[in-house]
Chains A and B, each alone.
Chain A
Amino acid sequence: MSISRRRFLKWAGAANLALIPGKSAIAASNRHFEGYPQGGGVLFDSTLCIGCRKCEKGCNEVNDFPAPVKPFDDLSVLDERRRTGNTAFTVVNRYKTSDGSDTTAYRKIQCNHCLEPACAAVCFVKAFNKTPTGAVEYDASVCVGCRYCMMACPFDVPTFEYNEAFNPRVQKCTLCQPRLEEGLLPGCVEICPTDALIFGERKKLLKIARNRIENHPDQYIDHIYGEHEMGGTSWLYLSGVPFKELGMKEDLGIKPALEFTSGALSAVPIVIGLWPVLLLGMYGVSKRLDKEALEEQDEAIKVSLENAAEEAAKKLETALNKADKAKKREIETAVKKALAEAESPQEGNEES
């Protein structure tokens, strides 16, 4: 039991993490899903982050990525506006803030491991799964590379190996799922020197976050980012400045992505059930109209056959005038044909 205080803090409320089952992932489905009760998550406290990029380094190491061009202790990159990449599942950016006391603040970016992930909802091969540990897992063995997940992710997280000619993958933070299964902390959390990152059960993290806000209302914005955004995320954020100033979207709403499309999808059976009935009805009506037109035509033929005299021609003309223009031609040809047949009845086999 040689857990240091720091270590203990990082494992916020971790007593029952051992209960986290391994791989029994469930797929996204159309029903409402509240998230796994004991699912884990990470709380990032921006007021504690010093922008040291250690988490980037930790992530790089646990994922066996190649060393970056600029080493992790080069803090000049903080001035760039960076995003996640194929070999950088997390990046830290520095933001200028409007708040008087402190002129800069930091934010760590990585997959937020949404409770009801947009990426999972839109993938047409179910490559993404929300697992009971809290991690949103990606399975490259079924991915087709359509990149709809990237379109849908409200946080612009997943990246794509555009330069792979044959087997490009989508890439994103794994929440260190393999390490969690071994009972280890995520690489970034473990290495963080200031407890700006703590790992634990999401429910407990929310309590901790609430306590911090309550105890230091002057230091924190009264909002836990990720508690409800897009249906809630496993990665939670505290900040001393408005989240917008940390480049975070404030217009996301609390509905998970799935709910935006489920309406359209539930219309499918309605269309399949209703359309044939309507169409057949319409077809029936037009058939009837056709029949009437046909009768009109027959009438005209009969008249012209009965009397070859002028009188008949006159009648025919009135009948033709009655019919609209398009039908006129039809009738005329039909009459001609019928007359021709009448003249040579033995030839009357007119298979078309």
Chain B
Amino acid sequence: MVDETKALRKKSLLTPVNIISGIILVAGLYATIIRFTQGLGAVTALSDYNPWGIWIWFKLVAITLAGAGYTTCAAVYVFGMKRYHSAVRPAVLIGLLGYTLFAVSLVYDLGRPYRLPYPFFVSQGTTSVLFEIGLCVAFYLIVLYLEFSPAGLEWLGFRKIRNIAVKATMALTMFGIILSTLHQSSLGALYLSAPSKLHPLWYSGYLPIYFFITSIYGGLAMVIFVFWLSERYLPDNIGHAYQEEKTGVVLGFAKAISMVLVGYFFIRIFGISTANSWHHLFSSWGVLFLIEMLVGILLPAILFAIGAREKNITLIRWTAVLTILGIIYNKFFISTYAFNWQLSPVDRYFPSGLEVILTLFMITVGVVAFRVITSLMPVFFEHKDYPSSH
């Protein structure tokens, strides 16, 4: 495996993808220096009206898609879908990177990042949704690292600790599901405290439930999507067991997502009718909302169902992309575009170039980390000393 890794590196050093990633990384480092020496004002277009921008958008999407970790663990360990076992490690890695990037991005976003421990150790704002999110995310990050630790320990050759870590799998899974339920939904609750600011078509008392459901199907769709990319671009990192089980994973997940999406579609409609926001549908906002509902939710639900029945892997994979785009679209409206919708256009938010660059920077860091880790550690393949055990 090591030789293959080396070969891969030699082969792929100057590809267009690598060059673009390199440029983004350099630009991102430059923006990072400015951010931490000259303040938020120097890199962002944030204002007193718009204190949260696309970095929050990125964070919402990252956490939602990082739901890959807990949903896959739940499927395999709790719902007993043992045949998807080879999907667990890559899915946990997606979760781990998503949450890590969330934390890193938070350091950029906070005015005084060095005070990040304050809510836990100095002054606990227990009425705050953000407090709960902080607590849960902190714990879940630990859980994710523990869940992933066997891969790292196998790589390093620490057999004994690795065996202990493996034994904790079930407990960690349970803990992870509880923590995820709490903070995934609380991310939606963040926006509950500003009912007058978020457009009624996106504001709903059910936002916490919406966010939780989104993380279930978003996480599963992310697994399909990332596995696809990995098979295509990182074939050398992929081992035997995974190759055998992957079709089952894709079909099984497609079926599950399809059902969740149908439910979600109706809950969203239910939310509109309980808030009685129907009249908003007949405005330009209504059109944007319907695009999300029909193209981002209903269409993927149908396509996943067809794909699963006809065992059409290609269709399922493209549908996963559509689903993820639907989520990005939804979070875009909640975090920026439909927020402060009543504000006069001159006061609205439009991101700065450096904000965009730093967002791309985060994504690139995530992709590079995924590549490196999957090539070094037994993620998609099995370590020769621990066959068919993870």
Contacts and interface: CB of A to CB of B under 8 A. Distances in A.
B276 interface: no
A163 interface: yes
A146 interface: yes
Nearest to B77: A283
A168 to B, nearest CB: 4
Q: Which of B78, B127, B388 has the most CB of A within 10 A?
A: B127
A144 B79 CA distance: 41
Interface residues of A, number: 71
A125 B125 contact: yes
B161 interface: no
B128 interface: yes
Contact of A264 (B44, B46, B208): B208
A121 B197 contact: no
B41 interface: yes
B292 interface: no
A267 interface: yes
A13 interface: no
A272 B182 CA distance: 8
Interface residues of B, number: 68
Contacts of B44: 162
B125 A123 contact: yes
A312 to B, nearest CB: 26
Interface stretch (B112-120, B320-328, B368-376): B112-120
A117 B340 CA distance: 19
Contacts of A146: 109-111, 130
Nearest to A164: B39
A261 B112 contact: no
B78 A30 contact: no
A289 to B, nearest CB: 6
A95 to B, nearest CB: 13
Interface string A143-164: 1111110111010101111111
A267 B49 CA distance: 31
A263 B42 CA distance: 38
A127 to B, nearest CB: 8
B129 A122 contact: yes
Nearest to A272: B178
A154 B197 contact: yes
Contact of A152 (B83, B193, B387): B193
A257 interface: yes
Contacts of B388: 352
Contacts of B174: 275-276, 279-280
B177 interface: yes
A251 B195 CA distance: 9
B19 to A, nearest CB: 32
A271 B111 contact: no
Contacts of B47: 162
Interface of B: 36-42, 44, 46-49, 51-52, 74, 77-80, 82-83, 109-113, 115-116, 118-119, 122-132, 134, 170, 174, 177-178, 181-182, 185-186, 188-190, 192-197, 205, 208, 244, 248, 342, 344, 387-389
Given A144-B118, A271-B181, 13 more contacts: A121-B127, A122-B193, A125-B115, A142-B118, A144-B111, A147-B51, A156-B48, A160-B48, A165-B42, A261-B127, A264-B186, A282-B79, A327-B83
24 contacts: A28-B125, A29-B127, A30-B127, A125-B123, A125-B124, A126-B124, A144-B112, A145-B110, A145-B111, A146-B110, A147-B111, A152-B193, A152-B194, A154-B196, A160-B46, A260-B195, A260-B205, A261-B189, A265-B127, A265-B132, A265-B189, A275-B181, A283-B80, A290-B80
Interface of A: 28-30, 81, 83-85, 118, 120-127, 142-148, 150-152, 154, 156, 158-168, 249, 251-253, 257-258, 260-265, 267-268, 271-272, 275-276, 279-280, 282-283, 285-287, 289-290, 326-327, 329-330, 352
A-B interface, 3 closest residue pairs, ranked by CB to CB distance from nearest? A145-B111, A286-B80, A162-B41
